[in-house]
Amino acid sequence: MAADVTLTLVIPLYNEEVNIQKLFERCTSALTAWTEAYEIICINDGSSDKTLELLKSIHKLDSRWKVISLSRNFGHQQAFLCGLSRATGHLVAMMDGDLQDPPELLKKFYETMQESDCDVVYGIRSKRKESAFKKLMYQSYYRILKKMANIEIPLDSGDFCLMKKEVAFNLVATREQSLFIRGIRSWLGYKQVGYVYERDARFGGEPKYTFKKLFQLAYNGIFSFSQMPVKLLTSLGFWVVLISVFYSVYALYIKITSPNVPQGFTTLAIAIFFFGGVQLIALGIIGEYVLRIYDETRNRPLFIEKEVLW
């Protein structure tokens, strides 16, 4: 790679003190073998352990390791956006700090970019070293999202990628409150190519994406890139009305042909509960969209930088 080509690697970190030293060794080795003209932007996303202290020590050893410390824990996607907004490289890479995504693959990503003449190379996870339940949930979610989304979001792809600076610039410019970066990256267009790899197990520490956070990320993906929830309501409403018409005709027929047939309380109770449930679901889905509109109109910053070491 030519010496005048600069690479920026963005890594969000939250309570990753056990991984910092290994992250430093592997990233430095992988990128130095590729180019000397690189920078690594580490975002301390409100860590409560020694993550920031260790990052400061690394910054003193190698000034190419930049550090941004946020005022609190804003979230994984927001931390990525913070780093991307500061990227100066002609090429910009995104990678998690738990070493599940191998930094050694970034050179392969670049070679793929050159061969394919594309703007983005993203990782496709062929295997996950995680529990069977988690793997099933991930696989199911990506396939459901693919069916529901109004854009093409590649199956089993994550945030791990290499992209040209113009793509990163436009990604940052979206500034959505409910961030789903891999979806925004697909929405931007450009020529994008997948690279299949086997995702490693976490090097150390506990996963920071709890079930609640994973659910919220999945929720953002569906509501930000799909009109299906609202369209589903319309379809449900249509079928409910259709069934009601047929039932009304049936009830009228029974009333005329058998006037002495007693009216059933059970049928009435079922109808009330059914329509009540449909209305609550409808209000919930519409309310979700209204809440997202409200979040966007408040226009609060997605992150706040407390300390910057450059």
Provide the CATH number for the domain around residue 168: 3.90.550.10
Domain termination residue (choose one: 163, 197, 226): 226
The verdict on 255 and 293 lying in the same domain is: yes
155-176 pLDDT per residue, tens: 677 889 999 999 999 999 887 7
For residue 55 the two structure tokens come to 């990052």
How many other C-beta atoms are found inside a 10 Å radius of the C-beta of residue 174? 13
* Number of compact structural domains in the chain: 2
Domain termination residue (choose one: 226, 258, 282): 226
User: Residue 309 domain-assigned?
Assistant: no
The verdict on 117 and 181 lying in the same domain is: yes
Residue pair 62/27 in contact (Cβ under 8 Å)? The answer is: no
Q: What is the pLDDT of residue 179?
A: 79
The verdict on 265 and 275 lying in the same domain is: yes
User: Residue 310 domain-assigned?
Assistant: no
User: Residue 290 domain-assigned?
Assistant: yes
| Residue-range definition of the domain harbouring residue 132 | 7-226
Mean pLDDT of 224-247: 67
The verdict on 214 and 237 lying in the same domain is: no
The verdict on 58 and 199 lying in the same domain is: yes
Q: What is the pLDDT of residue 177?
A: 77
The verdict on 124 and 201 lying in the same domain is: yes
The verdict on 106 and 128 lying in the same domain is: yes
Q: What is the pLDDT of residue 2?
A: 42
For residue 12 the two structure tokens come to 């969000």
Mean pLDDT of 184-198: 88
What is the chain's mean pLDDT, rounded?
79
CA atoms of 184 and 294, how far apart (whole Å): 20
Residues 6+ apart with CB under 8 A from 65: 24, 39, 40, 42, 55, 58, 59
Q: What is the pLDDT of residue 231?
A: 64
Q: What is the pLDDT of residue 1?
A: 39
Is 0.75 topped by the overall pTM? no
The verdict on 187 and 270 lying in the same domain is: no
The verdict on 42 and 80 lying in the same domain is: yes
User: Residue 60 domain-assigned?
Assistant: yes
Q: What is the pLDDT of residue 3?
A: 47
Reported as a pLDDT band with limits 50, 70 and 90, residue 197 is: confident
Domain termination residue (choose one: 173, 204, 226): 226
Per-position b or e across 228-243, b if 16+ CB within 10 A of its CB: bbeeebeeeeeeeeee
Q: In the chain, where does DSSP find H-type helix?
A: 20-32, 51-61, 76-86, 105-116, 132-148, 165-174, 181-187, 211-225, 228-257, 265-298
The verdict on 23 and 140 lying in the same domain is: yes
The verdict on 36 and 82 lying in the same domain is: yes
